[in-house]
Structures are given as C-alpha cells and as structure tokens.
Structure 1
Amino acid sequence: MEPFYHALKVAPTACIGCTHCMSLCPTQAIRIQDGLATINKNACVDCGMCLKSCPRHAIYVEQDDFNQIFNFKHRIILLPTVLFGQFSEEITEQQIFAELHSMGFTQVIEVAQASGILTKAMRNYMQKNSHDRPFISAFCPAVVRLIQVRFPSLIDHIIPLKQAMDLGAIFVRKKYIDQGISPEDVGIFYVTPCAAKIAAVKSPVGDDESNIDGVINLDFIYNKIQMGLTQHRDQPVNPVSEQTYLSPESIAWALTEGEASKFEGRCLAIDEIHNVIDILEKLENDELTDIDFLELRACDHSCAGGALAVNNRFLTIERLRKRMETSEKVNRTTSDDIQQYESYLFKEGQLSGEIPPRSIEQLDENMLVAMEKMQKLNRIMGVLPQIDCGACGAPSCQTLARDVVQCKAKLNQCVFMQKILCAEDLMTPDESLELSEKTWGIKRFEK
C-alpha cells in the first residue's frame, strides 16, 4: 500500500530538534534523528499539531504554485466559509469576491453551498444503514486518517460520502460541461484552512482521484486579498456576478456542531484531536454504546482553528455568527444553481472505493510473527525505564520498544540503557556519546 501524501514538511535549516512536535503528535509519527525532526509518513495524519507547536517555524505546509491557475481558461476558486471570518467587519464579502476576480479567477464559489445536499445524502445513508450506529462524519480528513491508522475497527462507522468541497468541485465542473465547455479548460482550486484537506485532494481516501486541480493555502490567499485591498482602497468595488447568499445552517457547517445539529438522536460534536482520540477510545472499548452520530474535527473549534487560519479562532467564529444573523434577515426567493444538480450530486457523492485500514499498531501481517514481536516488545518494556523522557529520539518508551521490534531503532538508544552498559563495561563513554550524536546531532555536543 502506497504511503499517504503529506503536505506537512520539515525545514532542516530551521529545525533544532527541540521535541515540541514529537511530544504533541497524536499518532507518535515524529522522531528525532541527527538533530532533526523526521515524520513517519505511514503514521502522520496531517492534523497540524506539529505546525502549531513548533517555536522555530521549522514545519511548514507545502502548497501548489499559484500561477498554475493560468493554465486554464476558466479558473474557479472554492472557498471555505472560515476565509470570510479572517477579515475585519469593515471588509465586505463583495470586496473579497472582487479581489479574487482581480487575481485572475473567473468564478468564486463557497463550498458550503453544497452542505444542504450533503446533509440530505447523509440523512438518507443513516436511515438505510441504521445498524451501523454510531455514524461518524467524514468531514475532517485528519480524523478519517486517524481512524485508519489508530482505530481501524471503527472504519465501517464512517459515512462513505464525499465532502462539501468535493461536491462543490463536481457541481461546477458538470455545470461547465453542460455549457459545452471542455473539462480540460476548467481549473478548480480549493482554499484550505489546514494541511489535512491538501492531503485529501492529493491522495483522496476511498476515491481514485479528486475533482480539484490544485490547493491554495488560506494564509496565502488571505495575504493576497489584503494586499489587493490596500492597492485598491481608493477605487470603487467592481460588481461581481456570483450569488453570495448562504443560509445560516450552511455558514455554520464548518464550525463545531455544524453537522451534529442537523440530525436526530444523540449527536455529539467533538473538536481538537486529543479530545477526538479520547472519544474514539471510549467507542472502541464499548464505553459509549448509545451514540447515533459523531461529528469529529481535528482542529480546536473546527475549521476556525485550522493550522492555516490567520485570525484568532474566537474572532473568526464571532464574524461568522454575525454573518449568520445577517443571512437570517435576507428574504430568499430564488434557489441556487447547485440545487438543480441535486440528484446528480447524490449519485456522484458516493465514494467509489472502500476506506482501507492502515493500522500503525499492527506489528506484522502474519499473526504468529506479530505475536512473537509482541512478546519481544513486552520483554523490552520490562528493561526500559518507562519515564518517557524522549532522550532516545522517540516520544515514549513504548514507541522506542515498538521501533526496536520493527528494526527501526536499537535498544541502546535509551540513555538509561547506555549508563547500565557503561557501568558493566559493555560500552565505552565514547560509544555512548556517538549514539547520542546520531540522535541529536554532533553540533548539540559542541557547545
């Protein structure tokens, strides 16, 4: 099985191996080697905790070249609602749309327009598959990958539907095709508030390929809009043709309880990945048995707290709440174009494949070999200090033991084991120093 695509990268020139990221990674995907953080691609879920925790800004999110939009005659940008929450109240939605047109986009669409259709599709699925309770939303790609690698037994509870950004892309491409425009002339670009959605576009789970042609980081597009607003502050706002109306329910879709509030029964909304892990552990251990639906989001306060968001998440939510209040006062008489494609999107919104398990807990595919490795792991744990100091370059003694069993590390990386070996004349101090240099880098010991 091919490794996940990952947008999170480590800048070697900035990383000092401080272990902040390693300590906070919820899937223990990070190790320190040669004084630098390294990411295990099979364990990382692109939640962005490492990005947020790094004091040196040594972890960054890779994005596509913006100029590739000009490879297409028709250039569509898909926006998450949280983008509008990044700006002050003095800046109108029309101004934001106008600046995006000035950059070169020919159409601007908010992906939340598809949330109403997606809600209906989810409700239909849950009614037809009531025996699969509790249902878990597939909204957050980081959570889907988390379940794949840490809770594979819960995969069947994930609702196998594409998300709003996918439906938005499918809708707009179909709309252009119906107008006689070649699909090759249509470029669709999504503005992402997090790294996980980049990974979902580049390497979709349960699908062969995405309908989105490129991804633009939210902080990047925010800065370009702000620059344009400054340059055009003395000019009148150009009128835009797009309908910017969204219902309050659609605006709230990407916020905490944006999904859970739509369904009947006992529905829980959990945000922040460590809280999500706690709930999933309870679910896996049958401590929670009466849940109907789980809305799980990896970021604190959902997409408002995305790793690529610029504004404070609480201020973002306040701005969007005010937008919802304004939306409630609008007398809506016409329907959106997307409603005309409802039956088509219902069909195309199904995942074409299964969501495969990719357990990082599995020691070996062969059960007998896995049992032997588990016995070895337990023996190793019996000699390790079990204080999780991280001095070996792994986040915990358990992780080091697992790495040793998998032949990815050696037991003598543990500094306590080195002291014991030195005391028994089985290792020299120079050999111990050499091992530490391999973990933390030679420069760390030159001071």
Structure 2
Amino acid sequence: MKGEAFYHALKIMDSVCTGCTHCMHLCPTSAIRIKNGKASLNEAACTDCGMCLKTCPQQAIIVEQDDFSQIFKFSYRIILLPTVLIGQFPEDISEEQIFSELHNMGFHYVMEVDKATEILSEETRKYMEKNSHLRPFISNSCPAVIRLIQVRFPSLIDHIIRLKQVMDIAAIYVRKKFIDKGIPAEEIGVFFVTQCAAKIAAIKCPVGEEKSSVDGVINMDFIYNKILLAINKNKDKPIDKVPEQYHLTPESIRWTLTDGEASHYAGRCLAIDEIHNVIEILEKLENDEITDIDFLELRACDHSCAGGALTINNRFLTIERLQKRMENYVKNHYHTVNKMPQYRDFLNEQIRLTGKILPRSIEKLDENMLIAMEKMEKINRIMKVLPQIDCGACGTPSCRTLAQDVVQGKAKLNQCVFMQKILTKEGLITPEESMELSAKIWGAEKFNK
C-alpha cells in the first residue's frame, strides 16, 4: 500500500455539523472527537465503515466520489456493477433496461463483478488447502473489515486470505479481454459502482497491492438516480439491444449477501455481518475463546452489501428481489454464459496480493516498550480519578479514550466536566474558566443562547 496514511472517502462538513455526538458514540474504532462544536476525525483510526454516515441526523457526513465526466477521458468505457445495484430497483424494471441505459450514458460494456466469484471461490479453496496452518481464514471481501483488523486486531492479519477482491478480478479480466480485441490499454477505462465508502478507499488506497485495477468509482446512490430518471424518461421507447446481457448463477447473485461467501467452503464457516458483531467475534478469536473455526465471512454492514451506506432501497427489499432473481434462474432454466474461465490461467497469475498487509495499531502508545508501559501506567492512574461513566461531555467517546488522549498529548484532563467541578470547588479554576474549557469542546455559540 502506498504511503503511510489511509485514504478516506468519508468527509465531515463543518458547515452542517452540530456536534451532536451521534457519530462519536457509534464509531466502532473511537475515531471521532468533538472539537469547537464540530466532529473531528482521527484518520489513523477510521476504517470507512460508514456507521457515522448512517447515523448522522444532520447529513453532515458525505462520501466523496469521482466526477462522472471523468469516464470520457477514455475512448473505451467499462462499468462494473455489484449485484446489489440490481436489487435497488423495483421489480418491474428489468436488468436489460438497466444495462441499456448505462450504454446510453456512454459505457461500451457493462459487467456485474460477481461473475468473478466462481474463479475466486475456487482459488480460495486452493489457498486454504495450501495454507492450512493459517486457519481460521478471514475473508478479504470487505475493505472496512480489513482496515478494522489493521487498526484494532493486528495480531490477526496473517489470517486474512491473500487474494484480490471480486471487483479487482473482474477489472483485470475485462481489461485483458478488450486488449486482446486490439484496444490499447491506455484507452480503456474501468469504473466500479460502489455501495459503500470502504470500497472507494480500497480503490484509492488499496491494501496489499500498489495500485487498484479500477480507474474510478461511481457512488451507487448517484448512478441509481441517474438510471431511474433515464428509464422513466424512455419508458415508452423500445429497449436497445444489450449485447452482453447474461444471467448470473444463484451462487454468484448471493455472494455479497450474508452467508453468500461462507456457503462455498467446507468445515465450520461463520458469516457475521454488522461491524459491532464483527468486533465481538474478532475479540473472541484474538482471546482464543473460539478456536475451531475454518473460515470467517465478515462484513461491516448490516445484512452485508445489501445494507451498504450508499444503497437506496431498504436492505430487506433488496434481499427479497435478489432472492427472486435466483429463483427465476432455476424456474426459467436460464443458462450462464461466463467466458472468464477462458482466462483462468491469466487470472490465476494475477489473483494473489503481492504486497504486505501492514498493522496500523491505534492502541500502540509508543514504539519503545518501556515508554509504552509507562504511558499505560499513567492511563490506569488517570482512570482512577475519572468518573468512568462515558458521558461524552469531554468530547471523546469514553473515559478511557480521554485518558489515552491525555497521555498522548492530544487532550487535557480538565476537559472532563466532573474534574472541572472539582477544580472549581477547590478554587483552582474559576467558573468562567470552566465555561471557557467547555466552549473549546462544544463551541461558544452553544453557551450564548
């Protein structure tokens, strides 16, 4: 991975943020603080899971996206779709209509990335057989989970499967396919429709490789509205022929849903969704409370990709539509046309991650073990004087995070309102000084009403 810093697609708009603390309390890695009445992000701790985006009542958190017009920098444009995009639309809108409108927008080829699941699952089985000593294996499908392991569970990094995600495999395949047709590589642009911020981060700043195979990202909520508007506008016109229209197998359709990946493998395989549930399992794994697991499918969003932060439809309705799509495949005896196996040898050469997945522990107090131990002792001493009720009035999510910030020089103990009351009672600070301390956290305007 390039550089020392994570790329983050999630951005906080100060002009809209009210410092309400919803995001601070829900963040699974305690990456958010309140300063001057605004939420502030600790970029080293953020995993781009999107929990803050989902919970913000002010819509002050946004997901950055590439300018759509960038697609026209390339002479030949390819768009990669996650299957959950199809599940966003009403049932009376067909896949052919969706594909057709994407062609009308300027894309030369449309492909659902989950076509690549067959090759990935096969290579994953080979990987697990060859590296049985690394059991339990952790899926690399969710970038937010990979970052979570990097920052909170670095001891588990070796258990992450060192293979590329389906979107990268699909991008490698489709680029090679059109190069073989005589199109120069530099004229081919591959764009991925993302259902979450973590996928954007994985493309802009990939983990385990130098550069992503994807050239740009398009947010799902943006492209959904663009497609739906076009379909409604052209509803009375005949659908243009879609040359690459095909039917995914039920196994590929359900890949991004909970248990869609784990169901491919033998042994004891668990599928866990929602990031707080994932954290609970990883804690048990790290503490050796569970030891007989073969494979873990871990997804940060509730109901996996159907619950992504950039999806439009209710996740339960999305799952229902995708389940009906699977049933129709069987009912109508559809045939799958997947030419990817023709490139199997080429893809197998490209599928492994070539770089290291590095730990980014936010718990590390110092590189020097002795200094780190001294700081831990200071944290424990500070905890004894703090109220330990995790009220958040200090602008941090918990008393322990305040203690850690104090020891690291990022905060002061007198940010705690209980400490302020004690200091005021002892005559060590004035009520006015206590008010000034609170104003630095929550913003002066909140005290001038």
Q: TM-score category by the smaller chain?
A: over 0.9
2:65 to 39, 63, 66: 63
Displacement of 1:60 in angstroms is: 0.7
Uncovered stretches (5+) of structure 2, i.e. residues with no partner: none
| Structure 2 length-normalised TM | 0.98
- Which string of whole-angstrom CA distances, capped at 9 and with x for unpartnered residues, describes residues 138-190 of structure 1? 00000000000000000000001100000000001111221222111000100
- Which string of whole-angstrom CA distances, capped at 9 and with x for unpartnered residues, describes residues 273-317 of structure 1? 000000000000000010000000000000000000100000000
What is residue 92 of structure 1 aligned with on the other side?
A: 94
- Which string of whole-angstrom CA distances, capped at 9 and with x for unpartnered residues, describes residues 172-216 of structure 1? 111122122211100010000000000000000001010111100
Give the residue type in structure 1 aligned to 2:142.
C
In the aligned structure 1, how far is the partner of 2:344 from the partner of 2:387?
Answer: 59
- Which string of whole-angstrom CA distances, capped at 9 and with x for unpartnered residues, describes residues 353-375 of structure 1? 11000001111111111011101
- Structure 1 residue ranges, 4+ long, deviating more than 4 angstroms after superposition: 330-335
1:111 to 107, 110, 113: 113
Give the residue type in structure 2 aligned to 1:138.
N
Displacement of 1:243 in angstroms is: 2.9
- Contact (CA 8 Å) 1:33, 1:438: kept in 2 or not? yes
- Contact (CA 8 Å) 1:75, 1:107: kept in 2 or not? yes
Specify the SS of the correspondent of 1:309: coil
Give the residue type in structure 2 aligned to 1:407.
G
Moved more, 418-427 or 175-184: 175-184
1:301 to 300, 303, 307: 303
Moved more, 172-181 or 191-200: 172-181
Displacement of 1:345 in angstroms is: 1.1
- Contact (CA 8 Å) 2:151, 2:361: kept in 1 or not? yes
What is residue 205 of structure 2 aligned with on the other side?
A: 203
- Contact (CA 8 Å) 1:304, 1:316: kept in 2 or not? yes
1:439 to 433, 441, 444: 441
In the aligned structure 1, how far is the partner of 2:59 from the partner of 2:339?
Answer: 42
User: Over aligned residue pairs, what C-alpha RMSD do you find?
Assistant: 0.9
In the aligned structure 1, how far is the partner of 2:347 from the partner of 2:42?
Answer: 36
What is residue 395 of structure 1 aligned with on the other side?
A: 397
Displacement of 1:329 in angstroms is: 3.5
In the aligned structure 1, how far is the partner of 2:443 from the partner of 2:336?
Answer: 64
What is residue 31 of structure 1 aligned with on the other side?
A: 33
In the aligned structure 2, how far is the partner of 1:3 from the partner of 1:334?
Answer: 42
1:43 to 45, 65, 75: 45
- Contact (CA 8 Å) 2:10, 2:197: kept in 1 or not? yes
In the aligned structure 2, how far is the partner of 1:348 from the partner of 1:317?
Answer: 32
In the aligned structure 2, how far is the partner of 1:139 from the partner of 1:414?
Answer: 40
Specify the SS of the correspondent of 1:86: coil
- Contact (CA 8 Å) 1:380, 1:401: kept in 2 or not? yes
What is residue 373 of structure 2 aligned with on the other side?
A: 371
In the aligned structure 1, how far is the partner of 2:223 from the partner of 2:374?
Answer: 52
In the aligned structure 2, how far is the partner of 1:35 from the partner of 1:186?
Answer: 46
| Aligned 1:335-374 pairs, distance under 5 A | 335-374=337-376
2:179 to 154, 177, 180: 177
2:275 to 262, 267, 273: 273
Q: 1:47 to 1:406 in 2, by over 3 A?
A: same
- Which string of whole-angstrom CA distances, capped at 9 and with x for unpartnered residues, describes residues 381-429 of structure 1? 1111100000010000000000111111111111111111111111111
What is residue 221 of structure 2 aligned with on the other side?
A: 219
In the aligned structure 1, how far is the partner of 2:131 from the partner of 2:178?
Answer: 34
Q: 1:378 to 1:347 in 2, by over 3 A?
A: same
Moved more, 97-106 or 323-332: 323-332
- Contact (CA 8 Å) 1:93, 1:244: kept in 2 or not? no
What is residue 168 of structure 1 aligned with on the other side?
A: 170
Displacement of 1:3 in angstroms is: 1.4
Give the residue type in structure 2 aligned to 1:79.
L
In the aligned structure 1, how far is the partner of 2:259 from the partner of 2:416?
Answer: 44
**Does residue 325 of the first structure (1) align with residue 327 of the second (2)?**
yes
**Does residue 241 of the first structure (1) align with residue 243 of the second (2)?**
yes
Q: 1:333 to 1:313 in 2, by over 3 A?
A: closer
| Structure 1 length-normalised TM | 0.99
- Contact (CA 8 Å) 2:248, 2:336: kept in 1 or not? no
1:232 to 231, 234, 248: 234
What is residue 133 of structure 1 aligned with on the other side?
A: 135
In the aligned structure 1, how far is the partner of 2:287 from the partner of 2:112?
Answer: 39
Displacement of 1:440 in angstroms is: 0.4
Give the residue type in structure 2 aligned to 1:14.
V
Displacement of 1:29 in angstroms is: 0.2
1:414 to 416, 421, 424: 416
What is residue 287 of structure 1 aligned with on the other side?
A: 289
In the aligned structure 2, how far is the partner of 1:433 from the partner of 1:209?
Answer: 49
**Does residue 311 of the first structure (1) align with residue 298 of the second (2)?**
no
Specify the SS of the correspondent of 1:38: strand
Displacement of 1:332 in angstroms is: 5.5
What is residue 16 of structure 1 aligned with on the other side?
A: 18
Specify the SS of the correspondent of 1:26: coil
In the aligned structure 1, how far is the partner of 2:191 from the partner of 2:368?
Answer: 43
- Contact (CA 8 Å) 1:25, 1:49: kept in 2 or not? yes
Specify the SS of the correspondent of 2:302: coil
Uncovered stretches (5+) of structure 1, i.e. residues with no partner: none
Percentage of pairs with the same residue: 68
In the aligned structure 2, how far is the partner of 1:330 from the partner of 1:112?
Answer: 20
In the aligned structure 1, how far is the partner of 2:424 from the partner of 2:415?
Answer: 13
Equivalent residue pairs, number: 447
In the aligned structure 1, how far is the partner of 2:407 from the partner of 2:255?
Answer: 44
In the aligned structure 1, how far is the partner of 2:335 from the partner of 2:69?
Answer: 38
Specify the SS of the correspondent of 2:87: helix
Give the residue type in structure 2 aligned to 1:19.
T
